[in-house]
Amino acid sequence: MIVVDSSVWIAHLRGQETEPVRKLRAIEWPDEIVVGDLILLEVLQARATKRMPPGSNGT
């Protein structure tokens, strides 16, 4: 089980190239990633408050 902090998800969705984002993208078994309810809430709130650009999809 791998738990990824909301700040890493937000950076990933913003397309930022940080060390934690690189580690997230390098995970060999993405089925092992667990997204908790509070982490999901924080990512969604970041999107709702426009801390992420509209239409960003992490690519």
pLDDT at residue 59, as a whole number: 44
pLDDT at residue 56, as a whole number: 59
DSSP conformation letters of 13-58: HHT---HHHHHHHT-S-GGGEE--HHHHHHHHHHHHTTSS-TT---
pLDDT at residue 50, as a whole number: 60
Could you state, in order of their start, the residue ranges of all structural domains in the chain? 2-48
pLDDT tens, residue by residue, 1-53: 999 999 999 999 989 999 999 999 999 999 999 999 999 999 998 877 765 55
Read off the pTM. 0.74
Grouping H, G, I as helix, E, B as strand and the rest as coil, residue 59 is: coil
52 backbone φψ class: left, alpha, beta (φ>0; ψ -120 to 50): beta
